[in-house]
Amino acid sequence: MGRDARPDDRSPPTAERDRSPALPQYKSGGARSKPIDEIIYRSYRPGDEEAILDGFNETFRLTRDLDYWKWKFDADDPGRFMSVAVDAYDEVQAFYGAMPVHWRYDGVRKLAGLGADVYCRRHPDLIRANAFLKTFYHFVEHHLGPGRLSIVF
């Protein structure tokens, strides 16, 4: 279902926005305690949804579910605009996504992107690598320009 086919009710399918009790820590011996040596920047691929949502919930201490994410980003829409940073295990470490919005400039209808739910996990290797900034650079390079988004805000 495309964005235009949605009912007028724009409320999310769940109101689950409770904060989780504690931010997960990078404990020694756990998967997240391992160094993040390799970071790959790429566009969203079907199947990334749960990994994106897991990182979002961890970063913002929320418990949003997959239905909420699908409502917000409509991954089936061919006009999706999302970039991710993944590690060697294909775990999403950073995300930059935008929802398409039409606007007019000098009488011309254009497509803009409303940035939403952007994040980078809290890990020293990601901070040193400027992973969030590089995810944004990937987004700009692959999703802004002629025939794509004209601006992101």
Average pLDDT by stretches of 10, the chain with 153 residues: 44 45 40 75 92 94 90 73 93 94 92 93 93 97 93 92
Position 125 scores a pLDDT of 93
Position 127 scores a pLDDT of 92
Position 33 scores a pLDDT of 56
Position 129 scores a pLDDT of 94
For residue 26, give Cα distances in angstroms to 67, 106, 125, 128, 139.
Answer: 28, 50, 12, 16, 28
Please give the structure tokens belonging to residue 35: 């160094």
Cα–Cα distance for residue pair 90/31, rounded to 1 Å: 12
Beta-carbon neighbour count of residue 123 at 10 Å? 19
Closest by CA to 39, choosing from 96, 95, 90, 97, is 90
Position 147 scores a pLDDT of 87
Position 53 scores a pLDDT of 94
Please give the structure tokens belonging to residue 99: 């929802």
Position 12 scores a pLDDT of 53
Cα–Cα distance for residue pair 14/36, rounded to 1 Å: 34
Q: Sort strands 108-120 and 151-152 into parallel, antiparallel or unpaired.
A: parallel
Task: Please compute, for residue 3, the number of CA atoms within 13 A of its CA located in the half-sphere on the CB side.
Answer: 12
Position 50 scores a pLDDT of 92
Cα–Cα distance for residue pair 112/101, rounded to 1 Å: 5
Position 79 scores a pLDDT of 65
> Global pTM?
0.76
